[in-house]
Amino acid sequence: MCGIVGYCGNGNVSEFLPACLKRLDYRGYDSFGFSVLSNGDHKILKRVGKLDYFAEKIQSGNIGIAHTRWATHGKVSEKNAHPHLSCDKRIAVVHNGIIENHSSLRRALERKGHFFSSETDTEVVPHLIEAFLCEGKGFREAVTLACNHLEGNFALLILDKKSNQLCGAKNGSPLVVGLGNEGIFFASDPIGFIDYAGKAIFLGDGEIAFVKMEGNSEIEIFGFNGEKKAAKKAVKINLRRWQAEKNGFKHFMLKEIFEQPECIESCTAGRIKNSLPVLEELEGFNGKIKKTERIVIVACGTSLHAGMIAEFLIEKLWKVPVKVECASEFRYRCPVIGKNCLVVAISQSGETADTLAALREAKRRGAQTMAIVNVEGSTIARESGAAICTKAGPEIGVASTKAFTTQIAVLLLFALYGAVQRKTASKEEIKLIVLELKKVPVKMREIFEKKNKIKFIAKVNSKYSNFLFLGRGIDYFVALEGALKLKEISYVNAWGMPAAEMKHGTIALIDKNFPAVFVGASGALLEKLRGNIQEVKARSGKVISIINECDSETAKLCNEFFCIPKTHELVSPLLSIIPLQLFAYYVADEMGREIDKPRNLAKSVTVE
């Protein structure tokens, strides 16, 4: 998705803006651009491609904005790259999100004589502000009026050359203000200014922050209703610099895979006491947990797979019905939601537009809401009745790895916590599972010691163009996630499905060139799974499997297998996904793919 950054202060934008923009690299983009105010004019530079190959020096100045574009409206071109200007070139704008009513606004502005030079939805913004300025409004009023005319999601940075002002407006898309020694920063994510600002102000929807270049830059926040807001408390940014570096790993994804033991430790730290789960974030929410008659989980992509695992865990431990839904579909049905229904939104970024929309729909229908996010202070966290942070640290690789396993750890703790509150599982059973959860970091490290085996399996199988990922019970959800990891970073066709479902059609695809990856690591339904393996073998299909170390019976049936340490069934996804993440990584690396920034993908999907 698009990334936006802005700077206003005593330093030089040519130092800050490219570096800040590079920090947002992980979001995925196809072109980029800058506007710097210099000698009373916008100095614009736009290029197609990646910042890595960008050698030109941008103009010096004390105030500027920049953008990485992930094309939605209009093809990838310099013309469509941001910033976009008003006709009189007074106003420059960068934007993340989608202006849904851009067509009607454009038609109206064109009728008034405005000339558009791009195909983007964004370009209506500078022209709209210009139209209000022409009516005699001041910059602040013109921006406020424009924001009130825009429909859809947006985070905007607007630079006015006449008043030497920069402002950031937020509605639905993320925007954070960074307070640094050398000035004020804006970014779509605090990682953008991590090197220069130690404190941040998270803007709320319907807010505009104005910064003026007058000696020391100062910030004032106004609502879309024009009223000035009380000063907001700045929060310390809790991202250690090293977390945004590769630290010797070839890719962020590999580093993040190997970070998982520490991430699970930090995610569970303070959340287990006397071998029982403790979730302070849910204090005050316990009454609601006890009354819950039904749970609906909304999420997308990898977070959706974590949600499917949660369905399995919660139904088993709470004995209430749980439904998992693609967040993007939820609000376009008529979901039957009552006040004793708890809607749980799962999102690494906490900004995914589809998940946020589903959460809002659930609230509108009177549900209790809860979020599981990796970014504290994110919109989904703020808008939920309660929020639990996964504490995985910043995830830079586009393919989610450590966010997934920490989501599962939190969801397992949540399922156990609810079972204690509701008295639906015995303390002995709960303590046994908690004990196994505590052993996960050590067992993950044991898997990493055998990474060369999975690297070898990946290498010999990287010649295939199609894979089936199969599992039963809780292993099925791990199979789905394994398939997603492989397809998104290697572009190899990979499908996940329940192992027994294969015979209802998909088995027609199996031949010697279509390997099947079986996940049987939970140890459940093994006899049945072995039957499904035989079905593939009988059709000359190659079988690769992820099993637990005690399962020599299944190992005998497979062409290649990888063993993980034995654990409790409900804990097993935390271990069985590791070899599949590594498998996807090594296949993609063997194929020379751009692993951290796969084509067409974006890290934070802030459009519907």
What's the closest the beta carbon of residue 344 comes to ligand F6R, in angstroms? 13
Query: How many residues of this chain interact with ligand F6R, rule: CB under 6 A?
Result: 14
**352 makes contact with ligand F6R (CB under 6 A):** yes
For residues 444 and 448, give the distance between their C-alpha atoms in angstroms, rounded to a whole number.
Answer: 6
391 is catalytic: no
**347 makes contact with ligand F6R (CB under 6 A):** yes
Helix (H) or strand (E) holding 45: strand 41-48
Which letter does DSSP use for residue 260 in this model? Answer: H
What's the closest the beta carbon of residue 310 comes to ligand F6R, in angstroms? 13
Cβ proximity to ligand F6R: between 80 and 243 the closer is: 243
Stretch that binds ligand F6R, among 138-146, 173-181, 191-199, 343-351 (CB under 6 A): 343-351
2 is catalytic: yes
DSSP codes, 479-541: HHHHHHHHHHHH--EEEEEEGGGGGGTGGGG-STTS-EEEE-TT-TTHHHHHHHHHHHHTTT-
For residues 292 and 141, give the distance between their C-alpha atoms in angstroms, rounded to a whole number.
Answer: 46
Cβ proximity to ligand F6R: between 121 and 596 the closer is: 596
**369 makes contact with ligand F6R (CB under 6 A):** no
What's the closest the beta carbon of residue 348 comes to ligand F6R, in angstroms? 3
With H, G, I as helix, E, B as strand and everything else as coil, classify residue 410: helix
Cβ proximity to ligand F6R: between 268 and 352 the closer is: 352
**390 makes contact with ligand F6R (CB under 6 A):** no
Applying the rule CB under 6 A, the residues between 282 and 321 that interact with ligand F6R are: 300-303
| Residue of 341, 256, 359, 382 lying closest to 299 (CA atoms) | 359
**263 makes contact with ligand F6R (CB under 6 A):** no
Angle between helices 440-449 and 260-268 (to 10 degrees): 180
| Residue of 278, 148, 287 lying closest to 205 (CA atoms) | 148
**488 makes contact with ligand F6R (CB under 6 A):** yes
**153 makes contact with ligand F6R (CB under 6 A):** no
Q: Which residues pair with 516 in a beta bridge?
A: 468, 543
With H, G, I as helix, E, B as strand and everything else as coil, classify residue 603: coil
Which letter does DSSP use for residue 25 in this model? Answer: G
**581 makes contact with ligand F6R (CB under 6 A):** no
Site string for ligand F6R, 189-228 (x = CB under 6 A): ----------------------------------------
Provide the residue count of the chain: 608
Helix (H) or strand (E) holding 475: helix 474-490
With H, G, I as helix, E, B as strand and everything else as coil, classify residue 157: strand
**399 makes contact with ligand F6R (CB under 6 A):** yes
Task: Write down the catalytic residue from 22, 255, 402, 603.
Answer: 603
Stretch that binds ligand F6R, among 43-51, 349-357, 417-425, 511-519 (CB under 6 A): 349-357
Active-site positions read 2, 603
Residues forming contacts to ligand F6R in the complex (CB under 6 A) are 300-303, 347-349, 352, 355, 399-400, 484, 488, 605
